[in-house]
Amino acid sequence: MTRLIPLAFLGEGEVGRVVEIRAGRGLTRRLLAMGIAPGMKVRVLKSSGPGPILIEVGQTRIALGRGVAMKVLVGGWDAWPM
Amino acid sequence: MANVKRRMIKVALAGNPNVGKSVIFNNLTGAHQHVGNWPGKTVDKKEGFHRVDDKVIYIVDLPGTYSLTALSVEEMIARDYIIYERPDVVVDIVDASNLERNLYLTMQLLELGANVVVALNKIDLAEKAGMRIDHRKLEEELGVPVIPTIAPKKKGMKELVEKIIELVEGNPRGYSGKTLCYEPRVERFIERLQGEVASREEITKLLNPRWVAIKLLEGDEDVIKKLSEIEGGREVIKKGMKLREEMSRELGDPEVVIADARYTVIKDIVSRTVGELKRLTASDLLDSVLLDKYLGIPIFFVILWWWFQIAFIGSAPFCDILGDGFAALGEVLTGITGHPFIDYLFFGEYGIIQGIGAVLSFVPLIMLLYFILSLLEDSGYMARAAFVMEKAMRKVGLSGRTIIPMIMGFGCNVPAVYATRIIPDENDRMIAILTNPLMLCGARLVFFSAIAAAFYGAYAGDILFSLYALGVVLAFMVATILRKTFFRGRASPFVLELPAYQKPSFKVAAVRMWDRGSMYLRKAVGIILIGLLIIGVLTATDAETLTFTTDPERSLVAAFGRSLAPIFTPLNWDWRFVVAMIFGFVAKEIVLGASAMLYGAGEEEIASRLASLYNPIVMYGYMTFILIYIPCIVTIAAIRQETGSWKWTIFAVVYGLILAYIVNLLIVTLGHLLLG
C-alpha cells in the first residue's frame, strides 16, 4: 500500500481508498454509519480553500468539514477507476 | 387465533434520513396521525393508524438515523423503542438508489433481532440510473421480506401492508430468519461472548444475545449501562471488556473492525443482487452551480429573498383577515356583558380578543415560512445551503446548519426556534436557540419601519439595515461567548449527507406545516393568554383606587412604568417608552400601537409625533433596545419548549435585557459625544 494521506489533501476528481480513521469515538461512529469505513472508495468532488469538502462514497454525497477530512486517512489515491 | 386478530398490530418505521420515510408514513396513515414529542426529548414523534378490513395497524415513525449506535438522541430513541416496545414488525425503508449505505442500518436492525420487512423505496430512481436490483435475490440474501416501493406514487403500499399482516399472523412463508455471519476473525469473538450472554436468562428475556455481544465488543456505553442494571450483567460486561481488549490487540479498534465486517457482507450482497452499478450523475450539474466557490453564497441569498417574499406576500391577506376579524369581533362584543371592566379586558382595543387576533395573525406567516422550508429541505437544497455557509459559520463557533434557523428568524423567531431541530448537536442547538431572538423579525420591523421613515427620511433604509446587521453581529458575539462559557467545546464536526435532488412533495410539506402550526397554537396560546390577561388587568386598573380605569396614564402599568423610569433615565426615555416596551413583551408589533395609545396619537401619526419629542440618537437607542430585549412571549414559549428548561428560558430573557440596556446606553452616550 502506498503512503497514507489525509482525505483533505486529495484534489478535486481524485479517488482514494479509506485506510484509517483517526478521530474520537463519536465522529468515528458517525463516519462509519455514513459509509466512510476502511476499504471504501471515496472520490473528491469539491475541495477548495479552507471550507468543507464534498466527497462521494458509493452513491452518497457527503460534505465533510476540513477538520474531519484531515482525520480520514486514505491511500492509493492516484489511480482507481470508479 | 381470534385473539390475535383483534389485537392491534404495532409497526415501527425505520430508515436513513432522506429515504422517503415521511411519504410512506403519510401514505399509510393518511389523516389518522398525530405529532408529538418523544417523552422528555425534543425529537418529533409521529404516530398514526392504518385500517385494513377488521385490522388496525398502529404505526410509529422512528427518527431517521444512519445507524443504531449510542451516538445521538435519535439513535437511542429508535433502538430503545425496538428493544422495549417490541413492535411486531419493523419496516426498514431503504433507498434503492443508495443500497450499500442504507443496508448498514438494515444489518443493525437484524442484529437487534427485530422482525424486519425491507421496503425497497425509490426503486424507479435506481432503475433510471441503470441499476437492476433483483429484490427476490435480496430477500433471500437478507433472510427477510423485501417489498419494492415508489412512495410518491403509492406503489407497493398494499403489498407492504399485506406482508406486515402476514408476518404477524404467523405465516412467514419460509423466511429463514437466518443470522448474517461476519468474517470468521470477527465472528470468533462474537460467538465466544454470545455464548456467555445466552446462558443468562435475565439478559436474554430482554435483549438479543448476539446483539449484546456485538455491542459489548464495540464498547457501547448504553448497553454497558443497561447490562449493569440486570442480574448477572456485570460478569458479562467484564468478560466482554476482556474480549474487546483482546480483539483490539489482534484486529484494531473493534468498532471500526465490526463496521468493516458489516460493509464486507453488504458489498457481497450488493454484488449478488444488483446487476449494474453506474454513478448517479443527475446531481452533478446542479451541484457544480449551487456549491460553486463564488456563486454558492449569492444564490443562497437570492433563494432566501424569494422565500421571504413569497411567505410575506402570500400570508398577508390571511394575516389581515385574522387581525381585522378579531378586531371586529371585539367591537361587536363590546358592551355585551354590561360590565365595563370585563368589556375592556376582553373586547377592548388592547384586550384579550384583540391580543389573540394579533398573535393568531402570525400563524399564516409561520405556516407559510415553514411550508417553504419544508419544500427546500425536501428538494435537497437545505443541505447545500449548510455546505456553502459552513466556512463562515465555523469562524464564529457555529455549525453550517445553524444558518437555516438564523435566516428564518428574520421572518419570525417562533418557527426559527422550532427549526433548530435540524441541528444534531445539543450544544450547537442550544446556542442557536438562545441567540435566535437577536434576528430582527417581521414584528419588530413593523415598529422600526414606521419610526425610521419619520426620523431618518432618506436614510431610513440604511437605518433598518444597520439594525439587521447589529442583530446578526450581536448574535455572533453572544454565540462566541456562550461557546466559551456554558457550551464549551467546538462546533460539532461537520458531516452532512447531501441527498440527491428530488421534486419536493407538496403533501408532505403541507402536513409538516400543519403540524408545526397546530403545535404552535396548542402550546403557545396558553402562555399568551396568561400574558395578555396580566397586562390587560394592569392597564385597566387605576393605580390609586384599584378600580377600573380607561385612562392608561392612571393605570397600574403607568405607575409601574413611572417607578421603573429612573432606571431608564440614562437612556433618555420617559415612562411611556418604558410602558410601550413592556407591552412589546406580548408581541413586538404592539410597541407601535402602545406608543400611539400612550401618546394619544393615532398609529399613522405616532411616528411624526415622536419625532417632535425625541432626537434621532435617543430614538435609535430605543430601537436597538426593542431589537435586543426580551423575546416576545410566543418566542419565549417556543424557547421553553425547545430547550426543555426554565433555566435557559429565563437566561434568554435576562441576557437580552442586560445586553439591550448596555447597547442602548453605549449608543446614546457615544452618539451624544460624537454628534453633539
Confidence of residue B3 (pLDDT cuts 50, 70, 90): very low
* Residue among B291, B293, B499 whose CB faces A49 most closely: B293
* Residue among B71, B105, B391 whose CB faces A51 most closely: B391
Cβ separation of A45 and B104 shorter than 8 Å? no
Mean pLDDT of chain B: 84
Alpha helix ranges (H) inside B121-204: 123-128, 135-142, 157-168, 184-198, 201-204
Please give the CATH number for the structural domain made up of B2-168. Answer: 3.40.50.300
Tell me the pLDDT tens digit for each residue of B353-377.
Answer: 777 776 677 678 778 877 888 888 8
CA dist B348 and B354 (Å) reads 7
* Residue among B71, B291, B383 whose CB faces A29 most closely: B71
Tell me what the mean pLDDT of segment A10-33 comes to.
89
Tell me what the mean pLDDT of segment B204-230 comes to.
90
Highest mean pLDDT among B149-163, B366-380, B480-494: B149-163
Asked whether residue A29 is assigned to any structural domain, the reply reads yes
Tell me the pLDDT tens digit for each residue of A27-50.
Answer: 898 899 899 998 888 999 988 777
Highest mean pLDDT among B2-16, B271-285, B443-457, B497-511: B497-511
Parent domain of A31: 4-75
Interface mutation target, options B16, B18, B68, B71, chain A, most CBs of A under 10 Å: B71
Question: How many DSSP H helices and E strands does chain B contain?
Answer: 32, 8
Q: What is the pLDDT of residue B649?
A: 92
Asked whether residue A10 is assigned to any structural domain, the reply reads yes
- Residue A45 DSSP class: E
**Chain A residues within an 8 Å CB radius of B256:** 21, 28, 32, 37-38
Confidence of residue B5 (pLDDT cuts 50, 70, 90): very low
Closest CA of chain A from B619, distance in Å: 41
Q: What is the pLDDT of residue A2?
A: 61
Interface mutation target, options B18, B182, B214, B291, chain A, most CBs of A under 10 Å: B291
CA dist B663 and B255 (Å) reads 51
Alpha helix ranges (H) inside B232-362: 233-251, 254-273, 282-290, 296-333, 340-342, 352-360
* CATH code where residue A44 lies: 2.30.30.90
Cβ separation of B69 and A29 shorter than 8 Å? yes
- Grid cell, residue B530, equals 396568561
Asked whether residue A23 is assigned to any structural domain, the reply reads yes
Q: What is the pLDDT of residue A81?
A: 44
Tell me what the mean pLDDT of segment B537-552 comes to.
79
Asked whether residue A53 is assigned to any structural domain, the reply reads yes
* Residue among B67, B400, B498 whose CB faces A33 most closely: B67
Tell me the pLDDT tens digit for each residue of B382-420.
Answer: 889 888 888 888 877 787 778 888 887 877 788 888 888
Q: Find cell 486514505 and name the residue.
A: A74
Cβ contacts of B238-241, under 8 Å, gap ≥ 24: B239/B193, B239/B196, B240/B193, B240/B196, B240/B213, B240/B216, B241/B216
Q: What is the pLDDT of residue B434?
A: 92
Confidence of residue B282 (pLDDT cuts 50, 70, 90): low
pTM of this structure? 0.78
Give the three-state DSSP class for B108. helix
Cβ separation of A58 and B100 shorter than 8 Å? yes
The CATH number corresponding to B184-278 among 3.40.50.1980, 1.10.287.1770, 3.40.640.10, 1.10.10.1100 equals 1.10.287.1770
ipTM above 0.85, yes or no: yes
Asked whether residue A57 is assigned to any structural domain, the reply reads yes
Count of domains observed in chain A: 1
* pLDDT exceeds 50 at position B549: yes
Going by C-beta distance under 8 Å and a sequence separation of 6 or more, which residues neighbour residue B90? B11, B12, B13, B14, B82, B109, B114, B115, B116, B117
Range of lowest pLDDT (B24-33, B321-330, B443-452, B667-676): B443-452
Which chain A residues have any C-beta within 8 angstroms of a chain B C-beta? 21, 23, 25-35, 37-40, 45-46, 48-52, 54, 56-65, 67-68, 82
Asked whether residue A82 is assigned to any structural domain, the reply reads no
Nearest CA in chain A to B492: A27
Distances (CA, A) of B463 to B277, B324, B457: 57, 30, 10
Tell me what the mean pLDDT of segment A48-77 comes to.
87
Q: Is the dihedral of CA B524, B527, B529, B532 positive or negative?
A: negative
CA dist B435 and B427 (Å) reads 12
Closest CA of chain B from A23, distance in Å: 10
Q: What is the pLDDT of residue B1?
A: 40
* pLDDT exceeds 60 at position B172: no
CA dist B416 and B312 (Å) reads 15
Cβ separation of B498 and A54 shorter than 8 Å? yes
- Residue B84 DSSP class: I
* pLDDT exceeds 70 at position B601: no
Q: Where are the domains of chain B?
A: 2-168, 184-278
Cβ separation of B66 and A58 shorter than 8 Å? no
3-state SS of chain A: helix, strand, coil percent to 5?
20, 35, 45
C-beta of residue B269 within 8 angstroms of C-beta of residue B142: yes
Cβ separation of A29 and B67 shorter than 8 Å? yes
Going by C-beta distance under 8 Å and a sequence separation of 6 or more, which residues neighbour residue B578? B561, B562, B564, B565, B568
Nearest CA among B386, B268, B21, B278 for reference residue A59: B278
